[in-house]
């Protein structure tokens, strides 16, 4: 086995906001009935958080849980722990109809940060990023220009986002264009 | 002549001189100028030629409504035609040229058209070019195309960047004049989030030019204070140089911000398209003055009275030294007064009204200006600039009473509210007979999803023209919008503006009222498209009663200005000619954009590297470095072949096929879809999706399957691997991955919601490599790890294990007919695994191969390809795949459809192999001809080629095709005419050309 590599090898760009590919992350798609006690318990024991509400993202020291749809969650964890956590989920969910699967290699994670971060992302996504409706603790599944993406806020000036790994270069190039020097909008 | 005065000019900075060029001549203006004001300041009154007659034309207006002053801007990568001089801010080094003339602006050959104008009436093209029909394509169309169009098309790639910006807000106020500013404040004080857009570079609109007192202050000072107040409110965003271009359903609004037009080359986007979702939209878009329709109203130097005033007050540019003002309303007097106060000579005010105006007339008279009531312009003379004016009685046919030499004419035909944005999404208009304009009908507003209005007009855009009334109307509009957006209103202090009553307008649609035909033929309605009063009258005589038809017949209002000056005059002329009331004739439809917006802004960031997403596998970079010739497959790029230096792509493909069949080849198969299907009902679900039985597949085994849609047509194929009791991994085609995943979700969510099944698209989780060829096993054994022998790892099974230290899932499946392992590793290790295979395979003669070698090898084996053998009209039975259609299953998607009469028709074309008699390669898509012709006189057909290649294995052309009763006609020779006159003769054969018994893949 060789050292796994992320799509862009932690590429960075600094313009009116900072754009970073943040390397490999453990990601688990968990599909199941979010109202069931078994799923809630499995999430609590494996991810260490309560079940997020609609459009919520809850983070703990070693990962987080992102709401993706009424029957889908994305569990985040260190890359090295992902197989163990999938196994733990499967064990916790034995006998429950659910699907837990490692999708860490199918995604690329970026961070976009700085005072202009909301402006930069608003160039690419039609989601409402006003601070009144979107802030830390929230997640949106939307698009970045022509590809789908999900994003949340780590703090009021920092977005985490992921897209499919195959379009990592496109997403990075997009974010570079949106964060290009001289393109300040000054809206948010 | 137009001149720059030595003092004044509220928008210019005389300390900063700016040099620019027009048609190559170096000219000077000041910071704050528009190109139009700088041209007029340099006495450049002639700025272009008209579209049809090539008449000399000058600047008419001072804003977005300008029809004439369109110029080619910039050079090379920043060249752009049709830029309005009136809305172009002057910058150092600006270079503009005039349009639509040859060889020069001053001397133009096309002006000959003007001499022929009586032979070029409305509808000329329709009448002239219809016969003979055959002339259209080769004679008329090229001629018309050559003579049509304003400006030149750019010939190099745009140097600038563009972007979009999305936002949601409570209230968008369009227009930064006094009404927009007051409406914005009224909405903002309730707490509503407000975005205020102003298309020009300055706040205040017309009010600072026209003057007046608000709350005891000069309106200009009041506006400055208001802007300061708004800019300090955290819930207000102010944008200059940002035009609202269109209003759409559900409060969607597009704004067009010209970020860098005035600073070309500065970093940042040139234009930004604002894509706004607003709860409410206030249109404070102002009003546009109408020209008067008199003969010679297009001679350079004839301008809108408001424009004359704007140039004077804002830029200290006088349109002329000796000016005649023609008006039918009080507002025109303001221009005369302003000119007189600036020291210019106003020769006459010709007021079409018998009794003239009110307070403003008195003021003009006090200043000593001569006022002639009941008088009109009969004709303006002069070629490239105004020389003299014939004055006549308004109530008459144009008999000249007097001729006066002058150098400019200011005309005012009254004002029309800018109702475009109100109308874009269904807002209706009402005709205000007293004021002679269409204004928004508040009872028929555009409505949103809740059936409630979401556009509120304000100020002069709402038909409220007097400053005092505008202030009240604007505040009310802002409050109404905030309330509708869900905010609570508090009592607002009234704004006191000094009332300035005016005498009513007298509508003047033609000047003089009964102008004789020679005058009507020189009275322009639409300057840009050269439509005259006589053209609209002709259209009416020829039966064009609908304003929409007249518009298209005469081209009235169809130019780049979309008839901002001409619409109302044109339809009034039509109404008059038809003897109908103006509201009965109605307006043409207002459509976005308000003024043309750049294609760059529409495209936004999507150009260059980010024009379209490109999907890359983990090995993409390796392929790139190793000579991949790319083939687009969906948004992926897959290597078509890896050409070596000095090798043609064709030769590379031949080499790759041979090497794979003789040694070992590597294919990047990562793009194939991999969908995990899990749940107690997974087997049942897949039995319904696939035509064959999947539930009977044992864990550890693989099975090829076909998927049809409910119409029976084959939509995808691939190998299904059973992982465990509840879990299957479905491989799809590359293009089918997302589509089939969506197909599964749709059936699970909408029809079979009671099934306990979850699906997850794992396509990108794995890099998958096909290791193919007789030496494949030796290679894997060398890497070491799992046992890959035929005994422990037989054909059509899968196993988890390790190879060369990599955790892998290997499938023994083959699309080439060779011994083959498809090996999946986590994508993050895909490149490393590929490189390990390449390194270890050296001694076995390993070579990567591309999609074309893959295609050839599958065709040699008679394997179908979705998209080649299928086209959405093909059922599996057509392809001889009956063996993969379960007869035991009660149901599956497509089963019922495949039983329909048309699907079981024995005359459906069926798949066969085709072998040319001389070994040539059949042309792709060629049809096999049959006896006779069809009712259209075309040859009857009996089949077509679906896949065709040169096979390096068999050293001849091989093909597959669909042929009438094909499988029953083995050995028969049929003919395929090529496109170059040759006829290919091919024998119908079995589609499996190579290793018919499958011995090679099953070793």
Residue range B421-436, pLDDT digits in tens: 999 999 999 999 999 9
Q: Residue B154, Cβ neighbours under 10 Å: how many?
A: 16
Per residue in B394-449, pLDDT (tens digit) is: 999 999 999 999 999 999 999 999 999 999 999 999 999 999 999 999 999 999 99
Please count the structural domains in chain B: 6
Residues in B closer than 8 angstroms to A127, CB to CB, are: 166
* Strand-pair category, B56-58 with B213-214: unpaired
Q: Closest chain A residue to B603 measured between Cα atoms?
A: A145
Helix (H) or strand (E) holding B101: none
Beta strand pairing status for B400-405 and B388-393?
A: antiparallel
Question: CB-based contact (8 Å) between B738 and chain A?
Answer: no
CA-closest candidate to residue B1, choices B280, B468, B321, B260? B321
Q: What are phi and psi of B885, to 5 degrees?
A: -110, 115
Binning pLDDT at 50, 70 and 90, where does residue B149 land?
low
**Is there a single domain that holds both residue B521 and residue B463?**
no
CB contact under 8 A, B610 and A170: yes
Q: Cα separations (Å) of B127 from B105, B115, B130, B518?
A: 30, 20, 6, 23
Q: Which of B604, B613, B838 should one mutate to test binding to chain A, selecting the residue with the greatest count of A CBs within 10 A?
A: B613
Determine the pLDDT at residue B135: 74
Residue B447 phi, psi dihedral angles, 5° rounding: -120, 150
Q: And the tokens for B363? A: 């003021």
DSSP 8-state symbol, B449: T
Residue range of the domain that includes B720: 673-764
Residue B849: inside a domain:
no
Structure confidence at residue B493 (pLDDT): 83
For residue B985, CA distances in Å to B124, B547, B929, B992 come to 55, 62, 11, 19
Chain B CB within 8 Å of residue A166 CB: yes
Read off the pLDDT of residues B355-369 as tens digits, 9 standing for 90 and up: 999 999 999 999 999
Three-state DSSP state, B734: coil
Q: What is the CATH number of the domain that holds B149?
A: 3.10.20.440
Indicate whether B405 and B434 sit together in one domain: no
B708 and B756 within one domain: yes
Window 766-805 of B, Cβ < 8 Å to A: 766, 802, 805
Taking the CA of residue B916 and the nearest CA in chain A, the distance in Å comes to: 42
Domain presence at residue B836: no
DSSP readout, A61-100? Answer: TTEEEEEEETTEEEEEE-GGGHHHHHHHHHHHTTTS--EE
Residues sharing a CB contact under 8 Å with residue B249, sequence separation 6 or more, in sequence order: B425, B448
pLDDT, chain B, mean: 95
> Which three-class secondary structure state does DSSP give residue B882?
helix
Cβ B766–A1 below 8 Å, yes or no? no
How many A-B residue pairs are in contact by the CB < 8 A criterion?
Answer: 145
Which pLDDT value is given to residue B109?
Answer: 67
A163 part of a folded domain: yes
pLDDT of B603 > 70? The answer is yes
**Chain B residue with Cα closest to A71:** B758
A183 vs B: CB within 8 A: yes
Q: Which residues of B touch A99 (CB under 8 A)?
A: 676, 678-679, 758, 760
Of residues B266, B678, B826, nearest to A4 (C-beta): B826
CA gap B461, B282 in Å, rounded: 10
Same domain, B45 and B145: yes
Do B433 and B464 share a domain, yes or no? Answer: yes
Residues listed for chain A: 188
pLDDT higher than 90, residue B125: no
CA separation (Å) from B797 to B378, B433, B717? 95, 85, 18
**Three-state secondary structure call for residue A21:** strand
Chain B CB contacts of A168 under 8 Å are 616
Q: At what angle do helices B567-578 and B533-541 cross, to 10 degrees?
A: 40
**What distance, in Å, lies between the first and last C-alpha atoms of chain A?**
46
**Considering the domain boundaries, does residue B79 fall inside one?**
yes
Nearest neighbour of B760 by CB, restricted to A4, A29, A168? A29
The answer to whether B168 faces chain A, any CB pair under 8 Å, is yes
Which member of B610, B616, B826 has the closest CB to residue A174? B610
State whether B758 and A98 contact (CB < 8 Å): yes
In a domain, A22, yes or no: yes
Q: Which of B164, B613, B617 sits opposite A123 (nearest CB)?
A: B164
- Which of B54, B59, B31, B55 is CA-nearest to residue B43? B59
- Write down the pLDDT at residue B118: 67
- CA nearest to B195 within chain A: A187
Q: What CA–CA distance (Å, rounded) separates B309 from B727?
A: 79
A121 falls within a domain: yes
Q: What percent of chain B has pLDDT over 70?
A: 97
Q: Is the Cβ pair A99, B760 closer than 8 Å?
A: yes
In a domain, A88, yes or no: yes
Q: Tell me whether residue A81 is in a domain.
A: yes
Number of domains in chain A: 1
| pLDDT band at B105; cut points 50, 70, 90 | confident
Q: Please say whether the beta carbons of B280 and B484 come within 8 A.
A: yes
A97 vs B605, B679, B836: nearest CB: B679
DSSP state of B102: S
The first and second tokens of residue B528, run together, are 């840009």
Q: Please judge whether A99 and B758 are an interchain contact, meaning their C-beta atoms are less than 8 angstroms apart.
A: yes
Spatial contact of B820 and B810, defined as CB atoms under 8 Å apart: no
Whether residues B832 and A168 touch (CB distance < 8 A) is answered with: no
**Partner residue facing A123 (CB), from B165, B680, B807:** B165
- Segment B284-289 shows an average pLDDT of 98
Tell me how far apart the alpha carbons of residues B32 and A157 are, in angstroms, rounded to a whole number.
37
In this prediction, what percent of chain B has a pLDDT beyond 90? 90
Mean pLDDT within B740-744: 98
Give the pLDDT confidence of B375-385 residue by residue, as tens digits: 999 999 998 99
Position B110 confidence tier, pLDDT thresholds 50, 70, 90: low
Residues of chain B with C-beta less than 8 angstroms from the C-beta of A128: 167-168, 277
Question: How many angstroms separate the CA atoms of B153 and B82, rounded?
Answer: 10
Q: How many CA atoms lie within 13 A of B617 on its CB side?
A: 34
Q: How confident is the model at residue B104 (pLDDT cuts 50, 70, 90)?
A: confident
Chain B contact present for A87, CB below 8 A: no
Specify whether the CB–CB gap between A100 and A110 falls below 8 A: no
Please report whether residue A64 resides in a domain.
Answer: yes
Contact predicate B536/B580, CB 8 Å: no
* Three state DSSP letters for B341-405: HCCCEEEEEEECCCCCCCHHHHHHHHCCCCEEECEEEEEEECCCCCCEEEEEECCCCCCEEEEEE
Distance CA B814, CA B666 (A): 12
Handedness of CA B397, B400, B403, B404 (dihedral sign): negative
Q: Which residue, B739, B735, B738, B732, is CA-closest to B674?
A: B732
pLDDT in tens, B435-493: 999 999 999 999 999 999 999 999 999 999 999 999 999 999 999 999 999 999 988 88
Do A173 and B680 make contact, defined as CB atoms within 8 angstroms? no
Nearest CA in chain A to B274: A123
Residues 20-59 in A contacting B (C-alpha not used; CB under 8 Å): 24, 29, 31-32
> Given this model, what pLDDT does residue B739 score?
96
Coil, helix or strand for B737? helix
Q: Say whether both B203 and B337 belong to one domain.
A: no
Domain assignment of residue B237, yes or no? yes
**Contact criterion met (CB < 8 Å) for A183 and B163:** yes
**A185 in any annotated domain:** no
| Contact partners, residue A31, CB within 8 Å, separation at least 6 | A71, A72, A73, A98, A99, A100, B758, B760
- For the CA atoms of B475, B481, B485, B489, what is the dihedral angle to 10 degrees? 30
Q: Is residue B662 part of a domain?
A: no
Determine what percent of chain A falls in helix, strand and coil, rounding each to the nearest 5: 25, 35, 40
Running DSSP on this structure, what letter comes out for residue B497? Answer: B
CA dist B834 and B838 (Å) reads 6
Q: Say which CATH number the domain at A139 has.
A: 3.30.1360.120
Q: Which of B160, B172, B611, B615 to mutate to test the interface with A (most CBs of A within 10 A)?
A: B615
Any chain A CB within 8 A of the CB of B237? yes
Whether residues B368 and B434 fall in one domain: no
Give the lowest-confidence range in A50-54, B132-136, B589-593, B978-982: B132-136
| Minimal CA separation from B743 to chain A, in Å | 18
Residue A3 within a domain: no
Write down the pLDDT at residue B920: 96
Instruction: Considering only the beta carbons, identify the residue of B164, B765, B806 that sits closest to A103.
Output: B765
> Where do runs of H (alpha helix) occur along B485-619?
517-520, 533-541, 547-554, 567-578, 582-585, 599-603
Domain identity same for B140 and B186? no
- Give B636→chain A minimum CA distance, Å: 8
Q: Does B264 touch chain A (CB under 8 A)?
A: no
Q: Structure tokens of B515?
A: 């102008």
CA-based nearest distance B31→chain A, Å? 22
Cβ-Cβ contacts under 8 Å, B826 against chain A? 4, 104-105
CATH classification of the domain holding B700: 3.30.70.1400
Confidence of residue A28 (pLDDT cuts 50, 70, 90): very high
Q: Are residues B263 and B178 in the same domain?
A: yes
CB contact under 8 A, B165 and A185: yes
Mean pLDDT of A136-143: 97
Confidence class for position B691, pLDDT limits 50, 70, 90: very high
B407 and B420 inside one domain: no
Q: How many residues does chain B have?
A: 1003
CATH of the domain at B375: 3.50.50.60
- Structural domain span for residue A41: 12-178
SS3 A37: helix
Same domain, B150 and B175: no
ipTM value > 0.95: yes
Closest-CA residue of chain B to A29: B760
For B765, which of A99, A102, A185 is closest by C-beta distance? Answer: A102
Disruptive mutation site among A100, A106, A149, A187 for chain B (greatest number of B CBs within 10 Å): A106
Asked if the structure places residue B955 within a domain, the reply is yes
Please check whether residue B828 touches A, CB under 8 A. Answer: yes
State whether B268 and A145 contact (CB < 8 Å): no
- Which of A105, A167, A174 is closest, CB to CB, to B615? A167
Instruction: Answer whether residue B279 is part of any domain.
Output: yes
Suggest the residue from A24, A86, A93, A99 to mutate for an interface test with chain B (most B CBs closer than 10 A).
Answer: A99
Three-state secondary-structure class, residue B646: coil
Considering the domain boundaries, does residue B835 fall inside one?
no
The answer to whether residues B332 and B432 belong to one domain is no
CA atoms within 13 A on the CB side of A153: 17
Binned at pLDDT 50, 70 and 90, residue B261 comes out as very high
B272 vs A: CB within 8 A: yes
Contact residues on chain A for B617, CB-CB shorter than 8 A: 166
Q: For residue B793, is the peptide bond before it cis, meaning its omega torsion is within 30 degrees of 0?
A: no
Which CATH number fits the domain that encloses residue B523?
1.10.10
Secondary structure (DSSP) of B14-63: EEEEEEEEETTEEEEEEET-BHHHHHHHTT--EEEE-TTT--EEE---SS
Distance (Å, rounded) from C-alpha A94 to C-alpha A88?
A: 10
pLDDT at residue B876, rounded to an integer: 98
Sheet with B714-724, strands from edge to edge, namely B702-708, B714-724, B727-732, B673-678, B758-761
Residue with token string 């349009």 = B99
pTM over 0.80: yes
């Amino acid at each position: 086995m060789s050292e796994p590599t992320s799509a862009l090898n932690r590429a960075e760009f600094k313009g009116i906001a900072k754009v970073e590919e943040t390397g490999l992350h453990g990601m688990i798609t968990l599909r199941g009935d979010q109202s069931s006690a078994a799923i809630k318990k499995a999430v609590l024991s494996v991810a260490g958080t309560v079940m997020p509400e609609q459009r919520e993202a809850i983070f703990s020291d070693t990962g987080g849980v992102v709401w993706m749809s009424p029957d889908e969650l994305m569990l985040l964890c260190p890359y090295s722990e992902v197989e163990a956590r999938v196994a733990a989920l499967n064990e916790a969910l034995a006998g429950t109809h659910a699907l837990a699967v490692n999708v860490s290699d199918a995604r690329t994670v970026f961070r976009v940060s700085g005072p202009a971060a909301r402006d930069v992302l608003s160039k690419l996504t039609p989601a409402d990023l006003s601070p009144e409706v979107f802030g830390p603790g929230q997640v949106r599944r939307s698009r970045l220009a022509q590809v789908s993406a999900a994003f949340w806020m780590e703090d009021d000036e920092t977005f985490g986002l992921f897209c499919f790994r195959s379009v990592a270069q496109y997403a990075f190039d997009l974010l570079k264009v949106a964060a290009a020097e001289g393109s300040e909008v000054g809206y948010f | 002549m137009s001149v720059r005065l030595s003092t004044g000019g509220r928008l210019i900075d005389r300390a900063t001189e700016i040099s620019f060029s027009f048609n190559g001549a170096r000219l000077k203006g000041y910071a704050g100028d528009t190109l139009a004001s700088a041209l007029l300041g340099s006495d450049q009154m002639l700025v272009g030629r008209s579209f049809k007659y090539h008449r000399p034309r000058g600047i008419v207006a001072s804003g977005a409504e300008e029809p004439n002053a369109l110029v080619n801007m910039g050079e090379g990568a920043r060249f752009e035609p049709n830029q309005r001089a009136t809305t172009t801010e002057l910058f150092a080094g600006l270079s503009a040229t005039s349009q639509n003339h040859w060889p020069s602006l001053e001397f133009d050959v096309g002006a000959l058209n003007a001499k022929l104008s009586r032979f070029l009436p409305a509808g000329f093209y329709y009448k002239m070019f219809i016969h003979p029909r055959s002339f259209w394509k080769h004679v008329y169309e090229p001629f018309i195309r050559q003579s049509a169009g304003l400006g030149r098309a750019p010939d190099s790639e745009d140097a600038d960047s563009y972007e979009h910006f999305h936002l949601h807000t409570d209230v968008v106020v369009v227009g930064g004049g006094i009404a927009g500013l007051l409406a914005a404040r009224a909405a903002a004080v309730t707490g509503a989030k407000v975005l205020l857009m102003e298309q020009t570079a300055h706040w205040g609109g017309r009010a600072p030019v026209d003057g007046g007192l608000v709350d005891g202050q000069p309106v200009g000072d009041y506006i400055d204070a208001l802007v300061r107040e708004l800019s300090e409110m955290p819930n207000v965003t102010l944008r200059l140089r940002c035009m609202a271009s269109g209003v759409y359903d559900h409060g969607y609004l597009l704004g067009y911000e010209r970020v860098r037009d005035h600073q070309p080359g500065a970093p940042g986007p040139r234009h930004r398209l604002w894509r706004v979702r607003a709860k409410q939209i206030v249109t404070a878009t102002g009003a546009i003055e109408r020209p008067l329709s008199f003969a010679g109203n297009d001679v350079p130097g004839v301008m809108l009275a408001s424009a004359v005033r704007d140039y004077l007050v804002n830029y200290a540019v006088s349109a002329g030294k000796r000016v005649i003002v023609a008006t039918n309303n009080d507002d025109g007097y303001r221009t005369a007064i302003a000119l007189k106060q600036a020291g210019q000579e106003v020769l006459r005010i010709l007021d079409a009204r018998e009794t003239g105006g009110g307070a403003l007339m008195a003021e003009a008279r006090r200043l000593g200006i001569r006022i002639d009531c009941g008088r009109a312009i009969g004709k303006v003379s002069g070629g490239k600039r105004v020389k003299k004016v014939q004055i006549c009685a308004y109530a008459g046919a144009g008999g000249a009473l007097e001729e006066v030499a002058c150098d400019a004419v200011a005309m005012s035909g009254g004002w029309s509210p800018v109702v475009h944005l109100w109308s874009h999404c269904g807002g209706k208009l009402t005709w205000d007979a007293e004021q002679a304009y269409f204004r928004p009908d508040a009872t028929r507003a555009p409505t949103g999803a809740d059936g409630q209005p979401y556009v509120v007009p304000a100020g002069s855009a709402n038909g409220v023209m007097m400053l005092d009334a505008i202030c009240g109307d604007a505040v009310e509009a802002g409050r109404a919008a905030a309330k509708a957006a869900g905010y609570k209103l508090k009592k607002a202090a009234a704004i006191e503006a000094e009332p300035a009553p005016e005498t009513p307008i007298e509508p003047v649609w033609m000047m003089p009222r009964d102008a004789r035909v020679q005058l009507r033929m020189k009275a322009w309605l639409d300057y840009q498209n050269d439509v005259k009063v006589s053209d609209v009258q002709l259209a009416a005589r020829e039966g064009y009663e609908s304003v929409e038809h007249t518009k298209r017949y005469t081209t009235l209002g169809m130019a780049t200005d979309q008839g901002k000056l001409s619409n109302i005059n044109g339809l009034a002329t039509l109404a008059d000619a038809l003897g109908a009331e103006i509201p009965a004739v109605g307006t043409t439809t207002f459509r976005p954009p308000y003024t043309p917006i750049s294609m760059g802004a529409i495209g936004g960031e999507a150009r260059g590297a980010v024009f379209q997403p490109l999907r890359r596998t983990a090995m993409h970079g390796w392929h790139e470095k190793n000579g991949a010739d790319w083939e687009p497959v969906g948004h992926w790029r897959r290597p078509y072949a890896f050409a070596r230096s000095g090798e043609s792509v064709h030769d590379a493909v031949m080499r790759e096929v041979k090497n794979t069949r003789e040694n070992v080849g590597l294919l990047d198969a990562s793009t194939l879809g991999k969908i995990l299907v899990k749940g107690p009902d997974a087997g049942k679900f897949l039995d319904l999706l696939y035509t064959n039985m999947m539930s009977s597949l044992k864990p550890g085994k693989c099975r090829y399957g076909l998927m049809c849609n409910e119409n029976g047509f084959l939509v995808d194929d691939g190998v299904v691997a059973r992982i465990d009791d509840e879990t299957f991994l479905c491989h799809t085609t590359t293009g089918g991955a997302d589509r089939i995943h969506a197909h599964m979700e749709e059936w699970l969510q909408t029809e079979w919601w009671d099934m306990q099944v979850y699906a997850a698209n794992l396509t990108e989780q794995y890099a998958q490599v096909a290791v193919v060829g007789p030496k494949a096993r030796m290679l894997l054994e060398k890497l070491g790890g799992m046992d890959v022998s035929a005994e422990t790892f037989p054909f059509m099974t899968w196993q988890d294990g390790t190879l060369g230290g990599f955790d892998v899932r290997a499938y023994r499946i083959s699309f080439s007919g060779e011994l083959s392992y498809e090996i999946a590793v986590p994508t993050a290790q895909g490149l490393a695994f590929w490189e390990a295979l390449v390194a270890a395979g050296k001694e076995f003669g390993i070579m990567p191969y591309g999609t074309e070698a893959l295609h050839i090898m599958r065709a040699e084996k008679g394997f179908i390809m979705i998209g080649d053998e299928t086209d959405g009209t093909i059922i599996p039975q057509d392809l001889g795949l009956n063996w993969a259609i379960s007869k035991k299953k009660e149901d599956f998607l497509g089963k019922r459809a495949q039983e329909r009469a048309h699907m079981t028709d024995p005359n459906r074309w069926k798949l066969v192999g085709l072998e040319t008699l001389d070994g040539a390669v059949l042309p792709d898509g060629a049809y096999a001809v049959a006896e006779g012709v069809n009712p259209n006189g075309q040859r009857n057909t009996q089949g077509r080629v679906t896949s065709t290649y040169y096979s390096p294995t068999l050293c001849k052309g091989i093909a597959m095709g669909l042929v009438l009763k094909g499988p029953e006609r083995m050995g028969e020779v049929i003919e395929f005419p090529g496109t170059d006159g040759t006829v290919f003769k091919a024998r119908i054969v079995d589609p499996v050309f190579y290793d018919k018994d499958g011995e090679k893949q099953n070793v």
